[in-house]
Structure 1
Amino acid sequence: MSEYRHVVRKWVKPEDLNQHGALFGGRLLQWVDEEAAIVAVAQLGTKDVVTRHMSAIDFAARADRGDLLELEYRVVGFGRTSITLGCRVENAVTGEEVLTLERIVFVAVDDAGRPVVHGRENATEGTERLRQRR
C-alpha cells in the first residue's frame, strides 16, 4: 500500500477548554472523528460511511489555549466494507504527542445502514473518487 498522509491543524480556542483550562478531551475526539470521516469519504468515494471502532484512547499530554495541534492520518488498510485509519495528534508548539489512535475503522453503508462492499484496495491522494461516483 502506498504511503498516504493527511494532515490538518486545529487551533485551541477558549471555547475548546475544560474546567482546568486545558483542551477538553471530548472536543479533541470530535475533531479526530470528523476529520477521519472526511478521509474515509475521500478514500472510499462515498459519503455513506459510519464510524465502527476506535482503538484505546490515551491522552498523553495536555494542550492549552493558543496551542496549534496537528492531526496526522494514515491509511492502515482496506477491508471488504471498511477502511482502517490511524491518527497521531501532536502539539505543534511543544512537539509533544497529545493522542495516538492506532485504529479508527469506518464502514461503507447503504441507505438502510447495512455494510456494502466498496471495492477499494489502495489509498488515493485526492478526492477524485467522490467525483467518479456521480
Structure 2
Amino acid sequence: MRFHTRKWVKPEDLNANETLFGGRLLGWIDEEAALYSIIQLENRKVVTKYMSEINFMSSAKQGDIVEIGIEVVHFGKSSITLKAEARNKMNRVTILTIDQIIMVNLGDDGKPKPHGKTKIEYVKDRLGEAS
C-alpha cells in the first residue's frame, strides 16, 4: 500500500477522550479516496458510493502524524474499488482499515459513466505517452 497523505492531529481534531475523532479521520480518508479516484479516472466528477466495515484498531492523540494509504482493489465499468489504511507515521501502528471504498465515475448528467480504465496509471507514465 502506498501512503499518499499525512495529517497532523491538532486540538480541533480531538474527541471528548482527547484522541482523534473517528469522524475527522473518516473525512480525511473519504477526501483522499476521492482525490485518488479523480486522478486515476481522469474525471473531477467522482462520488463515494459505499464504504465497507470500518475497523478501528488504535487511536491517535494530539501531535501525532497520521498517514493515509490507498490501494486499488478493482476497476468496475463505472467505478473503482479501493481499500484504505490509516497509521501513525512515527511508530507505524495501524489506526484504522477499510477493506472496500467504492467510488463512482459520473458524467455531466450526474449519472454513472463508464471510465474505460482497467489498471493503475501513474501521472509520470501519462506524461511520457504525450511526449
Q: Same fold (TM over 0.5)?
A: yes
Match of 1:71 among 60, 68, 73: 68
Query: Cα offset for 1:128?
Result: 7.5
Structure-2 separation of matches of 1:126 and 1:18 = 38
Q: Percent identity?
A: 44
Does the C-alpha gap of structure 1 residues 127 and 99 become closer, same or farther in structure 2, counting only changes over 3 Å? farther
Structure 2 residue 99 is the aligned partner of structure 1 residue 106: no
Long gaps (5+) in structure 1: 130-134
Q: Please, which of 18, 43, 47 is the counterpart of residue 44 of structure 2?
A: 47
Structure 1's 8 and 126: CA in aligned 2 closer, same or farther, altered over 3 A?
same
2:3·2:69 contact (CA, 8 Å) conserved in 1? yes
2:93 to 76, 91, 96: 96
In the TM superposition, what is the alpha-carbon distance from 1:124 to its structure 2 partner?
1.3
- Structure 1 residues 102 and 47, CA, compared in 2 at 3 Å: closer, same or farther? same
Please give the alpha-carbon distance, in whole angstroms, between the structure 1 residues aligned to 2:118 and 2:25: 29
2:58 aligned residue (56, 61, 83) = 61
- Number of aligned residue pairs: give it: 127
Distance 1:36 1:99 in 2: 14
Q: Is residue 3–residue 67 contact of structure 2 (8 Å, CA) maintained in 1?
A: no
Q: 4+ residue runs of structure 1 moved beyond 6 angstroms?
A: none
Alignment partner, residue 8 of structure 2: 11
* Higher RCO (CA-CA < 8 Å; seq separation 6+): 1
Q: TM-score, normalized by length of structure 1? A: 0.88
Q: How far off is 1:44 after superposition?
A: 0.2
Q: CA deviation at 1:72?
A: 0.8
CA RMSD of aligned residues (A): 1.8
Q: CA deviation at 1:95?
A: 2.3
